[in-house]
Amino acid sequence: MTDKPFSLPLKPIKVLHLVSHPIHYFIPLYKELSKKKEIELTVIYQSYQSSGWLYKKDYLVDINWNITFFEGYRWKRLPLSERLGIPRFFGEGIRFDIVREVACEDWDILWIHGYYLITNWVCALVQKLKGKTVMLRTEDVLFHQRTQLKKILKYLPLRVLCSLCWGLYIGKANKEYLEYYGIPDERLRRASYCVDNDYFKSQGSLLLNERKEIRQKWGIRDNNPVVLFVGRLVEEKKPLVLLEAFKKVVRERNAWLLFVGEGPLKERIQEISQKEAIPNVVTAGFLDQKELPKAYTAADIFVLPSVRDTWGLVVNEAMNFGLPVIVSSLVGCARDLVREGKNGFIFPAGDTHSLSLCLRKLIENEELRTEFGQKSKEIIEEFSIQKCADLMVSAFMESQYGTLRTASLPA
């Protein structure tokens, strides 16, 4: 191979992205990738369920993300996808309509999200048998507990799948996962997990002068620090660990705790707060993408105490608002987004005492919060939609042309 650019014009690389259902975090990335002249992206969903009102047992209510799912990028409508709910591994069986799409059309790259659907496996095999490229982007990490039996049952099949694929890793922990299952370094490329930084930063600027009114709307009547949690109120997110840690601090330091989200633990949070007389606890319920920036604007500290978050994109969102962040050691983004003692803290998962100490440091020191928040803004610049799209296009091109990444299409 040579590092010289191509002398002849290149056709755009045809990329087919296969994903379970519309995921609101991914739409800005699809739009950005669709602007790139080096590639031609098409998305196929195995279900359209989450594009409208979505009911999930983890929320206990109907929710609407209040965004447009199907504009600004190319996607292909499949009639069967309209009739199916969010698929599981075997679910409705192999989606032969999707397999035919992969088999009969000339896709240079098949980009699959995750390995949880049997159709993804079949399509990856078909694409590889055609001598074409498969890329796998998944969120998984190694440090979440699994039974020994599950580890054994997964290991060989995943080694086989990964032997077919290039890996697009979202962060350091995810890279280790893909390496463990056999993807060598020469087929691993970074594709950082990201949110629409431009949107959240612009909302932060627009709402800054409304901070007092926003806080008052939730009953926050003073200027004391607000600790924020955003996410499903379920056991794996550990909101009760945060509540217990906050209880240890709020008796000595004036502060507020704002929970944004729905789920089976919402009533439990309210019951404990009332029964144990924990002051200044607010449950705001679910906020869609247009309302959520108000919560970040109202906050001074962000906490994600989860024990099973493969990344935690709410941390990205919070950092765009200049918030110091505290995450547990089992949150996937911890090693990528949190610089210990620089923009936040990482505490041992489930340890309420350690979390309370982290909270205390930030609650009682406004100067430290400001310093950490500014560092959060600097760090999150490297995790933008634009930079992720550039990394992915580079990976797509390298998979097709080796080191010839300087090749480009004519304007």
What integer is the mean pLDDT of 1-9?
46
Are residues 74 and 28 both part of a single domain?
Answer: yes
The CATH number covering residue 218 comes to: 3.40.50.2000
Number of Cβ within 10 Å of residue 41's Cβ equals 27
What integer is the mean pLDDT of 193-217?
97
Q: What tens digit of pLDDT does each residue of 80-118 get?
A: 877 666 666 556 689 999 999 999 999 999 999 999 899
**Most distant pair of Cα atoms in the chain: their distance:** 74
Asked whether 176 and 336 are in contact (CB, 8 A), the reply is no
> How far apart are the C-alpha atoms of 123 and 152, rounded to whole Å?
24
- Of 60-64, 170-174, 178-182, 371-375, which gets the smallest average pLDDT? 60-64
List the beta strands (DSSP E) in 187-293.
188-190, 226-230, 256-260, 281-285
> How far apart are the C-alpha atoms of 84 and 44, rounded to whole Å?
14
Are residues 393 and 374 both part of a single domain?
Answer: no
> How far apart are the C-alpha atoms of 233 and 264, rounded to whole Å?
6
Does 108 fall in a domain?
A: yes
Please state, rounded to an integer, the average pLDDT across all residues of the chain: 91
Are residues 239 and 370 both part of a single domain?
Answer: yes
**Given the structure tokens 């978050």, which residue do they identify?**
309
Are residues 163 and 176 both part of a single domain?
Answer: yes
Number of Cβ within 10 Å of residue 208's Cβ equals 10
Q: What tens digit of pLDDT does each residue of 143-169 get?
A: 987 788 888 888 999 999 999 999 999
What integer is the mean pLDDT of 272-290?
96
Which of 269, 263, 257, 281 minimizes the C-alpha distance to 362? Answer: 257
Listing from the earlier edge strand, what are the strands of the sheet with 301-304? 281-285, 256-260, 226-230, 301-304, 325-328, 344-347
Q: Count structural domains, the chain.
A: 2
Give residue 99's domain range: 13-194+384-401
What integer is the mean pLDDT of 331-357?
98
Does 291 fall in a domain?
A: yes
pTM value?
Answer: 0.92
Which of 289, 66, 304, 335 minimizes the C-alpha distance to 195? Answer: 289
Are residues 222 and 367 both part of a single domain?
Answer: yes
Does 1 fall in a domain?
A: no
**Given the structure tokens 């600027």, which residue do they identify?**
205
Distances (CA, A) of 349 to 9, 250, 345, 382: 53, 21, 12, 26
Which of 319, 324, 314 minimizes the C-alpha distance to 363? Answer: 324
Q: Which amino acid is at 354?
A: S
Backbone dihedral angles phi then psi of residue 264, each to the nearest 5 degrees = -65, -20
β-bridge pairing 256-260 and 281-285 = parallel
Does 173 fall in a domain?
A: yes
Q: What angle do CA 403, 138, 159 make, to 5 degrees?
A: 80
pLDDT of residue 4: 47
pLDDT of residue 53: 43
> How far apart are the C-alpha atoms of 66 and 62, rounded to whole Å?
12
Does 393 fall in a domain?
A: yes
Asked whether 115 and 139 are in contact (CB, 8 A), the reply is no
Which DSSP state fits 321? Answer: T
Are residues 185 and 264 both part of a single domain?
Answer: no
Does 8 fall in a domain?
A: no
Which of 20, 323, 338, 380 minimizes the C-alpha distance to 196? Answer: 380
Are residues 304 and 288 both part of a single domain?
Answer: yes
pLDDT of residue 59: 67
Residues 6+ apart with CB under 8 A from 49: 21, 84, 85, 86
pLDDT confidence tier of residue 7, bands split at 50, 70 and 90: very low
Backbone dihedral angles phi then psi of residue 144, each to the nearest 5 degrees = -85, 135
Measured between its terminal Cα atoms, the distance across the chain in Å is 25
Does 277 fall in a domain?
A: yes
Q: Assess whether pLDDT exceeds 60 at residue 51.
A: no
Are residues 172 and 211 both part of a single domain?
Answer: no
Q: What angle do CA 260, 325, 362 make, to 5 degrees?
A: 100
Number of Cβ within 10 Å of residue 252's Cβ equals 10
**Given the structure tokens 């097709």, which residue do they identify?**
400
pLDDT of residue 55: 47
Are residues 138 and 84 both part of a single domain?
Answer: yes
> How far apart are the C-alpha atoms of 13 and 33, rounded to whole Å?
12
Are residues 115 and 241 both part of a single domain?
Answer: no
Continuous segment of H or E residues that includes residue 168:
strand 165-169
Does 135 fall in a domain?
A: yes
Are residues 138 and 255 both part of a single domain?
Answer: no
Are residues 161 and 34 both part of a single domain?
Answer: yes
Asked whether 306 and 236 are in contact (CB, 8 A), the reply is yes
pLDDT of residue 320: 98
Q: Which amino acid is at 159?
A: R
